[in-house]
Amino acid sequence: MKNNLSKTITFWAALSTVIGLVIGSGVFFMPQQIFKATGGAPGLGIFAWILGGIITIAAGLTATEISALFPETGGMMVYMREIYGEKLSYLTAWMQTILYFPSVIAALSILFAEQACIVINCPNLKIPIAIGIIIFIVILNLFGSKTGGFVQIISTVGKLIPIVLIIAFGFINNKHASNIMTPFLGHNLSFASVLGQVLVATLFAYDGWIYVGNIAGEMKNPKKDLPIAIIGGLMIIMAVYIAINIAFILVVPAKDLAANSTPASLVAQKLFGNVGAQVINIGILISILGTLNGYILTAPRVPFVLANNRLLPFSKIFSKVNKKNVPANATWLIAILAMLYALSGQFSLLSNLSIFTIWIFYSLIFIGVFKLRKERPEIDRPYKVIGYPIIPLIAILGGLFVTINQLFMSGLKTSIIALGGLIITLVGIPLYHYMLKRKNFKY
């Protein structure tokens, strides 16, 4: 299927989209969750950032073989169609449209609102700010994917400034250089149990890289630029995550980071005083803003492709593009769902709801590398995953770990949320058959 979207996105916009989608709230908020799980011990926490980065890079290297083969607008749904067929492709797109993208955008908007309320001291305006920031970024992106890509570059540079300052001054002014990896784990804690918690947390922080594939159909040279953007972006992200967490520990003991809900602000206050803490809060706002922009830039391409194939209710509406060749109605669909989810005000609920199902589909894509090499060896592969088959196996094991951990090893509440996400996803099966029958159209 041809799309009507302009090919205006450059390599640098794609690279900044990868970085912008991944580096958002996690780099600032996850250290507290991780070091709390380790009992205030830094060693296992730093190890988890390294291991999570290795798994994510393995995932990126693996999925890039698929994304380079099929550089079409739609991303994951295109990959699933080529690997497994129409039904799983539709299920992927349905899950992303109705659950994953709106939930993530809503969760990020809530974090943005919470940080904004700290900066301007307005705790009662959290929900209006969350909804307002979604509307603001949607309007920006309606001016065209080139505008959205430009915003992504600017916000990515803006978010890296406070990160670089913390890393640089943290390494210069360190007070705890001997305690980066010791103790490795707190007393009376199970290594296996804690590793599961902290690794899942780091993988959450690394999530988002695959969605640059959603705009592949609008890239000027996707077969060349897309693999480099994904792999290069992930390597930069891993280096940043490890460096900033070491910088945190050099300035503030891990046990103090574990006790503070805004560890980055705590470190900034130690390094730069109260003014510095406020600067970091603004940096966090810029960071979340960039991540929100990345998701709102890429997410609407999924329902847009569904609507173009007449497999979405009200397809005539959602398949339209505006004068800037942006799928405006599909953008508003995602945005309205996100605003409804944001009314809950619950970041953890929204993030947990989305992450379980998305990793199931990630794993299927990783497995798809083996399937395609066996069934379609004649395809010209502009990029082949290095270290085959070891690297894809690492990615698959990482994906299985996330889904099994969420379903069976993270407590009853997390299991219920995971099952809820699965049920919402499976609703797409009867809808798929209904849309086929109603339209009498073969996908």
Indicate whether 1 pLDDT > 50: no
- Quick check: bond before 327 cis, omega within 30? no
Q: Which band of pLDDT confidence, cut at 50, 70 and 90, is reported for residue 440?
A: low
By the 8 A CB rule, do 272 and 278 touch?
no
Q: Which two tokens stand for residue 223?
A: 């077969």
Q: Which band of pLDDT confidence, cut at 50, 70 and 90, is reported for residue 442?
A: very low
How does pLDDT run across 108-147, given as a tens digit for each residue? 899 889 888 888 888 789 999 999 999 999 988 887 666 6
Per-residue model confidence (pLDDT) at position 287: 80
Domains detected in the chain: 11-439 (1.20.1740.10)
**Statement: the pTM of the whole predicted model exceeds 0.85:** no
Nearest 10 degrees: Cα torsion 23, 27, 28, 30? 130
Q: With H, G, I as helix, E, B as strand and everything else as coil, classify residue 219.
A: strand
Per-residue model confidence (pLDDT) at position 176: 62
Indicate whether 241 pLDDT > 80: yes
The Cα–Cα gap between 240 and 206 comes to 11
Amino acid in the structure at residue 34: I
Q: Which two tokens stand for residue 192?
A: 């296996």
Indicate whether 219 pLDDT > 90: no
Answer positive or negative: Cα dihedral of 86, 316, 326, 22: negative
Q: Which two tokens stand for residue 349?
A: 């609920």
Task: Report the mean per-residue pLDDT for the chain.
Answer: 84
Q: Which band of pLDDT confidence, cut at 50, 70 and 90, is reported for residue 152?
A: low
- Quote the radius of gyration of the chain (alpha carbons, Å): 21
The Cα–Cα gap between 44 and 42 comes to 6
Query: What one-character-per-residue DSSP string does 12-72 give?
Result: HHHHHHHHHHHSSSHHHHHHHHHHHHTTT-HHHHHHHHHHHHHHHHHHHHHHHHHHHH---
